[in-house]
Amino acid sequence: MDMIADILLVAGALGAGLYCYILARRLSRFNDLENGVGGAVAVLSSQVDDLTRTLSAAQQTASASTSSLDGLTDRAENVAKRLELLVASMHDLPDAAPEPTSHPEPMFVRHAGPRQ
């Protein structure tokens, strides 16, 4: 009986060893940086870094554009106020008299025939 127990114990140990060997090979293929999930994780990590840099550059550009637009908006509001004042002051001016024309309108006159 001891012999059968030893044979079953050795067979179980060999089976567990074979299972661990197969599992180790699958795990190494799974974590392979070239083809496996490890490679996909590495690619995604580099893409996240690139997107982070792009996002920070876009935020800096947007803040610069915002400050520029704020300045332009303030300037436009000041110009609009001055234009409103100018238009309001134009209403106070009297109507201008029409300018005399320097060239009279042409007038056609029929001449009598030659005198005899």
Across the range 18-25, mean pLDDT stands at 95
> Using CA atoms in the order 37, 42, 48, 52, what is the torsion angle rounded to 10 degrees?
170
Number of domains in the chain: 2
d(CA 82, CA 73): 14
70 phi and psi angles, rounded to 5 deg:
-60, -45
What's the pLDDT band for 35 if we cut at 50, 70, 90? confident
pLDDT at 10 over 90: yes
My answer on whether 43 and 82 are in the same domain is yes
Residues of the domain holding 42: 37-90
- Do 49 and 81 lie in one domain? The reply is yes
Q: CA-CA distance, 98 to 116, in Å (whole number)? A: 47
Within a domain: residue 3? yes
Same domain, 55 and 85: yes
Q: Which residues of 68-80 are buried (b: 16+ CB within 10 A; e: fewer)?
A: eeeeeeeeeeeee
